[in-house]
Amino acid sequence: MVGLVLSGAVYASPGKDLLLKNGQILLIKDDSVIEGDILIKDGKIAKVGSGIKAAAETEVIDLDGKWVMPGIIDSHSHIAIEGSVNEMGDLMTPEVDIKDVINPEDISIFYALTGGVTSIHTMHGSGNPIGGRGIVLKLRWGKTAEEMIFEGAPLTVKWALGENPKRSNFFSPGPARYPRTRMGVEASIRYEFEKTKDYMAQWDGYRAKVKKWKGTGTKPLPPRKDYRLEVMADILKGKYWVRCHAYQSEEMVSILKLCKEYGLKLVCFEHGLEGYRITNELVEYEVAVSTFADFWSYKWEAYYTMPHAVALMAKRGVLVAINSDDGERMRHLFNDAAKAVRFGGLSEHEALKTLTINPAILMGIDQQTGTIEAGKDADLAVFNRHPLDSTTVCEMTLVDGEVLFDRTKYLEDRQKAVEEKKKKEEEKKEDKE
């Protein structure tokens, strides 16, 4: 049944210019709402305004007063991955790369589109102090893995602190794996960077010898290549943005100091449930928080937070994104943003930013998406009511100007599939008689 329904997932003519008319448009670049139109050309927003005229061949969709916002961006996801998200075979695993196991046929991609999600950062799990590399994807449902990769997005690497890397809640046969304490987790990260500095020094020494070598005598031999330390070296060189899983404020402050010591680009804390306790430090170090709206108390280190945390951090100048970390929660992130308004008194505009421009900034894609303005990618979500209304429903989702989800068309296709199945069953029954 699902296969029959999803086979025609692209509902508008691919590559054709499109005019969305008569919408209530949430620009997000400021807090204004305009009643008007959006003209899309070559997958980009060409014009936003009222009474836009388009060429005769342009496809037109009348939104009839529906609400339009930038496509939702989920900055912490584990969908579209083939197999496990954690490489638990060793303590440090930065050499592994989620890019190698992208699954473009994961049905969660389509489910995300039904909730207005258009881009995600899908990443390695939190089982290692320094884990694998993540990837930013544009949810181009029906495309290949390579075609889903968000062009130009920064490279990322996942770190983790606390209970997960020290395996507080995991039990396995054999001797316990180091580290078993929070101080051991940080010490293991520091040790890896000191080892990396030695590795880099060996290669610098080798290159200096090669430069001096005149072609006579024995040519200098290079150090042994270590793919793990190669990635670690690239982290030290700033080629990777660090995304660090953490809950407790004390260890977050401690790792901030370590990153400053090594000159590392720590972009954000994943979860960061106690981030509201260290807002001054987060602002000083310019570190964002990608977090939940009201999900906590599922383990000891996740107890000390509250539903006001998102609003408290945002009001104090921290860049905050609301994320899913879950294929189901991803489908209704707009409800989670509304909770920041309900519990924390965040303005509707600031709440919507936690789903759009804020995650775009911390994923390094804010020049391409996150707001509705000319020149940006036509990644849009259309709702029947204001996106923060508790009864709202995502009616349509566009990625690069293509309608990849249309609720009305989808329900029609489902009904047709049911009728066709029923017809075939009746024909089989008649044949037997």
CA gap 46, 108 in Å, rounded: 30
The vertex-169 CA angle with 166 and 171, nearest 5°, equals: 90
pLDDT at 433 (0 to 100) = 67
Structural domains of the chain sorted by starting position, each given as residue range(s) with its CATH number in brackets:
71-369 (3.20.20.140)
User: What was the pLDDT predicted at 172?
Assistant: 67
How many residues belong to the chain?
Answer: 433
**What order of strands is seen across the sheet that includes strand 72-77?**
72-77, 117-122, 130-138, 155-160, 240-246, 266-271, 288-291, 320-322
Q: Which residues contact 342 (CB under 8 A, 6 or more apart)?
A: none
The pLDDT value recorded for residue 4 is 33
Q: What is the CA radius of gyration of the chain?
A: 24
pLDDT at 14: 63
Residue 397 and residue 383 in contact, taking contact as beta carbons nearer than 8 Å: no
pLDDT on residue 184: 96
Q: Which residues of the chain have pLDDT under 50?
A: 1-10
Please give the Cα distance from 105 to 274 (Å, whole number): 36
